[in-house]
């Protein structure tokens, strides 16, 4: 319990630093526009402080031994994102973005607290793995339904239900990770058996590659029907990563990479939206007057920022236009806070991912180990995909940067992810304090 108090006090101190970044950054961006105290700064400060205070006290009550870094890292990244969103809402002609993001932060924290309240034992989710599989696939395919599906910027990712518009794939991502963890934990030993070898690489029986082909097919279906390269790539990459982590067989990783390359080549030849992304990636300057404009402006923004940046509110990220507050928010960060600010943000993501994988190694059973590793991999892969896209390292995928980009669906799903990691870390810390022979940390069913 004493250790729990130390962890929560550490969390409170780090949350205070994140609050300073949020309020101070908001103030600085407002001062760049006019030398007066920004309107609403007190109300905004109270809202952010009370929201994270509620999250902190809920963790004290529901998961007192949870890791003290997950929530502060998420709060820091969200604070940076909010500052940039509030700075961008004027130039891109969409007033109210910051207010909407604040409301979604409140909803996200409520969802995180609800996750901690409802999920008292992560192993209980394993019994519902096929329910989560069905929910995840339905959420992925929901935007294809006539009447409620909406196509925005060429991709059919959105669902419109009355005044509410959201991206169901963001929640579907978490549901599918739960299913993958349950399925792989159940069949891990079977999938890991090698029946023959090619050099130093053990090859499992060919029938065990079926789930990989099924995931590949679903990802292609998402890309074809929704014109969404990002979600299909993210979904497939998460499954391949989790399959590799579950079995430690490089054959699955090699085979997954191979069929991905085959699918990418076929898609680029058959579908114009995929071909367009690849052409822009190879030479965006050739298409600067059209589809390559945003990527070129993103590169210009990162170059203009230099090492220390132009300063908050003093850059021109508005020249990127359209999706700068979602797909290209990292470019806005790199321009106004420079290489130093971009490196700091990437370091925060790296710490989050490292903390997550470290937690996975300490989990006492296969399901929790794979669930934590899968959730962490999902966030890390999503971050790598969007940062790689805006820096021209890989083709632009059009997904959001976790915690930072504008978007209620993304923020909501990532706060649920934080809630699950907090629950896992609390369970691990509690089991470690009780010793290795307690009933608590025995795997469900009494064995592997």
- For the chain, the structural domain boundaries read 2-122+222-231+256-434
* Mean local confidence (pLDDT), 259-265: 82
Tokens for 314? Answer: 């003093």
Q: Helix (H, G, I), strand (E, B), or coil: what is residue 66?
A: coil
* Mean local confidence (pLDDT), 290-304: 91
Q: What is the spatial distance between Cα 166 and Cα 193, in angstroms, rounded to a whole number? A: 42
Residue 256, CA distances (Å) to 68, 189, 250, 381, 394 in order:
36, 19, 10, 15, 18
pLDDT at 168: 84
pLDDT at 160: 74
pLDDT at 442: 46
| Residue 67 pLDDT exceeds 90 | yes
pLDDT at 199: 62
| The model's pTM | 0.91
Q: What is the spatial distance between Cα 55 and Cα 419, in angstroms, rounded to a whole number? A: 10
- Helices 2-33 + 70-88 axis angle, to 10: 10
Across all residues in the chain, what is the average pLDDT? Answer: 85
* Mean local confidence (pLDDT), 8-37: 86
| Residue 1 pLDDT exceeds 60 | no
Residue 152 pLDDT grade (very low, low, confident, very high; cuts 50, 70, 90)? low
Residue 439 pLDDT grade (very low, low, confident, very high; cuts 50, 70, 90)? very low
Q: What is the spatial distance between Cα 239 and Cα 374, in angstroms, rounded to a whole number? A: 8
Q: What is the spatial distance between Cα 334 and Cα 381, in angstroms, rounded to a whole number? A: 20
58-72, 172-186, 374-388 — which is least confidently predicted?
A: 172-186
Tokens for 176? Answer: 């599918």
pLDDT at 359: 96
The contacts of residue 310 (CB under 8 Å, 6+ apart) are: 304, 335, 336, 338
| Residue 445 pLDDT exceeds 60 | no
């Amino acid at each position: 319990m004493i250790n729990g108090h130390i962890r929560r006090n550490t969390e409170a101190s780090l949350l205070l630093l994140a609050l300073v970044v949020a309020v101070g950054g908001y103030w600085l961006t407002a001062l760049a526009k006019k030398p007066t105290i920004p309107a609403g700064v007190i109300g905004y400060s109270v809202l952010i402080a009370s929201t994270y205070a509620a999250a902190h006290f809920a963790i004290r009550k529901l998961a007192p031994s949870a890791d003290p870094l997950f929530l502060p890292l998420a709060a820091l990244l969200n604070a940076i994102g909010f500052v940039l969103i509030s700075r961008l809402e004027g130039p891109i002609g969409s007033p109210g973005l910051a207010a909407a993001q604040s409301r979604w932060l409140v909803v996200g924290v409520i969802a995180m607290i609800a996750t901690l309240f409802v999920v008292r034992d992560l192993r209980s989710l394993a019994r519902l793995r096929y329910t989560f599989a069905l929910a995840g696939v339905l959420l992925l395919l929901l935007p294809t339904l006539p009447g409620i599906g909406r196509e925005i910027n060429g991709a059919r990712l959105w669902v419109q239900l009355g005044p509410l518009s959201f991206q169901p794939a963001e929640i579907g991502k978490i549901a599918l990770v739960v299913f993958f963890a349950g399925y792989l934990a159940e069949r891990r030993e079977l999938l890991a058996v090698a029946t023959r070898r090619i050099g130093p690489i053990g090859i499992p029986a060919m029938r065990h590659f079926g789930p990989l082909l099924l995931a590949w097919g679903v990802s292609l279906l998402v890309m074809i029907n929704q014109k969404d390269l990002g979600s299909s790539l993210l979904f497939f990459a998460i499954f391949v990563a989790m399959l590799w982590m579950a079995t430690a067989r490089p054959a699955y990783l090699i085979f997954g990479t191979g069929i991905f390359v085959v699918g990418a080549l076929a898609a680029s030849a058959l579908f114009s939206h995929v071909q367009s992304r690849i052409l822009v990636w190879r030479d965006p300057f050739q298409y600067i007057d059209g589809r390559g404009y945003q990527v070129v402006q993103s590169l210009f923004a990162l170059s203009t920022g230099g090492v220390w940046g132009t300063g908050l509110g003093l850059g021109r990220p508005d020249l990127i236009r359209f999706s700068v507050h979602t797909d290209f928010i990292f470019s806005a960060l790199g321009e106004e806070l420079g290489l130093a600010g971009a490196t700091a943000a990437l370091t925060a993501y790296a710490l989050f991912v490292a903390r997550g994988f470290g937690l996975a190694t300490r989990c006492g059973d296969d399901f929790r180990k794979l669930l934590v590793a899968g959730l962490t991999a999902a966030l890390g892969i999503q971050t790598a995909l969007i940062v790689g896209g805006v820096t021209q390292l890989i083709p632009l995928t059009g997904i959001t940067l976790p915690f930072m980009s504008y978007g209620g669906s993304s923020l909501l799903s990532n706060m649920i992810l934080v809630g699950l990691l907090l629950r896992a870390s609390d369970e691990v810390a509690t089991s470690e304090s009780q010793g290795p022979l307690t009933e608590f940390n025995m795997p469900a069913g009494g064995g592997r």
